[in-house]
């Protein structure tokens, strides 16, 4: 730890790269503790970034003009961007990362990508820690279950928890925490894609009630109506980000020597929904709240109508 880094994390200057849903939630919860926060997002300065600037001003979050400007002043950098940007962000931050600065990689990237990012930060004198976010952030907010990995994970773990995170150390080896996350995502993101495909097809044939009844009989612990609505809305709002994540999942499967048939299909379905959403099929995108309809049938009908045109 450098002499400029305070031993109490409540006095740290935390830098957030990526000011999307996750970044804004973390900013809000950290600022409630009066922790100094600076954010950077590539959308800042554009029309799309106006709401991000407004949010930052409301919550007392400073905005940086670049990756390097943020990294230069931070005691802890948290990278929370899309999966494909995990390595480029580390590369952009590395030249400005201070000696001993922690770099927490929140991104859903493959173990191979995390290893590449770690090498960039470590060579610059920073301390890279991989983070695997183990479930959806909004319900838990800052307390979302977080697995840490790498040689600096054990040192960062108690400091994160002191400022409200719920972190656990998975391993002192890089890639272990990410492997847990990626293998889980094969199931979770795959289930999202399967529910959308199954329920929309069932709706087309008019058998959705029978299908849901059968699923409930087999898995009585799941409210399939509620779960269906949740899956539809999460993919509609975040399908692009999810598709990128599942491409990283597919790469993780390849790194293990398997052909990622399931993961590749899931990525394609998520990207397809994202294309429809970008085209306005589901109405205007909600900037702060993903929910549009509490009934998945509304969205399935929109998809079916689109397919008939």
* Tokens linked to 108: 């859903």
Count up the domains in the chain and report the number. 2
Single out the residue in 173, 207, 231 at which a domain terminates.
173
Look at phi and psi of residue 109 and say left if phi exceeds 0, alpha if psi is from -120 to 50, else beta: beta
* Exposed/middle/buried for residue 86 (C-beta within 10 Å: 0-12, 13-18, 19+): buried
Residue 3 lies in a domain: no
d(CA 126, CA 99): 5
Using alpha carbons only, give the angle 132, 3, 115 rounded to the nearest 5 degrees. Answer: 30
Average pLDDT of the chain, as a whole number: 92
Residue 1 lies in a domain: no
Single out the residue in 152, 173, 194 at which a domain terminates.
173
Residue 85 lies in a domain: yes
Residues 64-69: what's their mean pLDDT?
95
Residues 303-308: what's their mean pLDDT?
95
CB atoms closer than 10 angstroms to residue 276: 18
Residues with Cβ within 8 Å of residue 110, at least 6 apart in sequence: 178, 182, 248, 249, 251, 252, 255
Band of residue 115 on the pLDDT scale cut at 50, 70, 90: very high
pLDDT for 284 equals 72
**pLDDT tens across 153-201, in order?**
999 999 999 999 999 999 999 999 999 999 999 999 999 999 999 999 9
Higher pLDDT, 2 or 54: 54
DSSP three-state, residue 167: strand
CATH number of the domain encompassing residue 59 = 3.40.50.720
Residues 223 and 136 in one domain: no
**pLDDT tens across 210-231, in order?**
999 999 999 999 999 999 999 9
Query: What pTM does this model have?
Result: 0.84
d(CA 237, CA 240): 8
Is a pLDDT exceeding 90 seen at residue 45? no
Residues 265 and 285 in one domain: yes
Higher pLDDT, 82 or 39: 39
Residues 227 and 115 in one domain: no
CA 242 to chain CA mean position, Å = 8
Residues 272-296: what's their mean pLDDT?
74
Single out the residue in 173, 192, 217 at which a domain terminates.
173
Torsion sign, CA atoms 99, 162, 172, 186: negative
CATH number of the domain encompassing residue 201 = 1.10.1040.10
Residue 71 lies in a domain: yes
Q: Residue 194 sits in which domain range?
A: 178-308
Residues 245 and 269 in one domain: yes
Residues 104 and 186 in one domain: no
Residues 137 and 221 in one domain: no
Band of residue 275 on the pLDDT scale cut at 50, 70, 90: very high
Backbone angles phi, psi at 152, to 5 degrees: -105, 5
pLDDT for 288 equals 40
Residues 207 and 140 in one domain: no
d(CA 183, CA 291): 27
**pLDDT tens across 88-113, in order?**
999 999 999 989 999 999 998 999 99
Give 201's Cβ-side CA count (13 Å radius): 7
């Amino acid at each position: 730890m450098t002499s400029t880094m305070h031993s109490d994390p409540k006095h740290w200057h935390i830098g957030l790269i990526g000011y999307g849903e996750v970044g804004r939630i973390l900013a809000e919860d950290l600022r409630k503790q009066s922790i100094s926060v600076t954010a950077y997002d590539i959308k800042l300065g554009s029309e799309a970034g106006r709401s991000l600037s407004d949010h930052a001003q409301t919550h007392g979050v400073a905005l940086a003009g670049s990756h390097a400007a943020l990294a230069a002043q931070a005691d802890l950098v948290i990278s929370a961007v899309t999966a494909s940007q995990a390595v480029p962000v580390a590369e952009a931050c590395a030249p400005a990362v201070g000696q001993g600065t922690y770099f927490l990689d929140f991104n859903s990237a493959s173990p191979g990508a995390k290893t590449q990012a770690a090498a960039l930060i470590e060579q610059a004198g920073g301390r890279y820690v991989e983070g695997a976010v183990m479930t959806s952030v909004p319900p838990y907010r800052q307390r979302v279950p977080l697995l840490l990995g790498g040689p600096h994970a054990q040192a960062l773990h108690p400091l994160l928890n002191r400022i409200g995170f719920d972190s656990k150390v998975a391993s002192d080896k890089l890639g272990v925490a990410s492997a847990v996350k990626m293998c889980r995502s094969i199931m979770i993101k795959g289930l999202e894609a399967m529910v959308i495909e199954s329920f929309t097809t069932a709706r087309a044939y008019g058998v959705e009630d029978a299908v849901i009844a059968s699923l409930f009989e087999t898995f009585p612990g799941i409210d399939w109506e509620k779960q269906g609505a949740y899956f539809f809305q999460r993919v509609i709002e975040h399908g692009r980000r999810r598709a990128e994540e599942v491409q990283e999942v597919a790469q993780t499967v390849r790194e293990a020597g398997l052909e990622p048939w399931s993961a590749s299909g899931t990525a394609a379905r998520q990207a397809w929904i994202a294309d429809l959403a970008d085209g306005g099929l589901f109405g205007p995108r909600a900037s702060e709240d993903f929910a549009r309809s509490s009934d998945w049938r509304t969205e399935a009908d929109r998809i079916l109508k689109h397919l008939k045109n």
